Amino acid sequence: MDIKDKIVESTKEIFSTMVMMDVTVVDQDPTARQAIRDGISGIIGLAGTRKGVLAIHIPAPVALAITGSFLGMEVEEINEDVEDAVGELANMLGGNVKTILSENGRDIELSLPTTISGTNYDFQTAKDVEVTALAFATDTGTFSVELQLER
C-alpha cells in the first residue's frame, strides 16, 4: 500500500470515527494550485528523520459542516470552534502520517497545528518537496489533504 492509500485510509477513519461523517475520495487533481476563496486550512509540521508539512484545505461551508458534526452543534461562521476543529483534524492526520512514515512514529516529531483562514489566499510550499495531494467529497462539498515531504 503506498502512502497515498494510507492517507486515504486514515482520513476516512478519522472522519468516520471522530467527525462522524463519511467521506469519499474524489478523482480530481487537487495539486493544480489555485487560490482558496473563503476557506480555512489546518497545517502541522513534521520534523525529525522526515521533514514535512501536512495540510488540510477546507472551503468555509464544508468547514462549518465538519465542525458542526464534530462538535454536535450548529456552527454558522468561521469562529474559534472551527479553528480548533480544523487544527485538531490537522493534528490527528499528522499523528497518523507520523506513524505511517516511521516505525511506531518514534523518529518524527509533530509541531503544533495552526490554522489560516481568509477570503482569498494561496499557499506556497518549500522548494524541493514531494507533494501528495488528495481530494475528498462530503455532502456539503470537497476538501483536500496535502502532504509535503522534503526529498
Partner 1 sequence: MDYVTVLQEGTVEIFETMVMLPIVLQRVTEHSDSTLTDARVTGMIGFGGTIKGMIGVSATADMAKIVTGSLLGMEIAHLDDDVKDAFGEIANMIAGALKSACGENGIDIDLAIPNSVVGDCLHISGLRGAKRVVLEFSASAGKLWIELKYLEA
d(CA 70, CA 140): 14
Using CB under 8 A, which of the segments 9-17, 18-26, 102-110, 137-145 binds partner 1?
A: 102-110
End-to-end CA distance of the chain: 20
> CB of 6: closest distance to partner 1 in angstroms?
20
Nearer to partner 1, 19 or 78 (CB): 78
Give the 3-state secondary structure of residue 93.
helix
Q: Angle 80-101/3-14 helices, nearest 10 degrees?
A: 140
- Report 31-90 residues binding partner 1 (CB under 8 A): 35-36, 41, 43-48, 51-53, 55, 78, 80, 83-84, 87
> CB of 76: closest distance to partner 1 in angstroms?
16
> CB of 74: closest distance to partner 1 in angstroms?
20
Nearer to partner 1, 12 or 51 (CB): 51
Grid cell for residue 115: 490554522
The length of the chain, given as a count of residues: 151
Name residue 130's amino acid: E
d(CA 67, CA 90): 13
Contact residues for partner 1, defined by CB under 8 A: 35-36, 41, 43-48, 51-53, 55, 78, 80, 83-84, 87, 108-127, 129, 148, 150
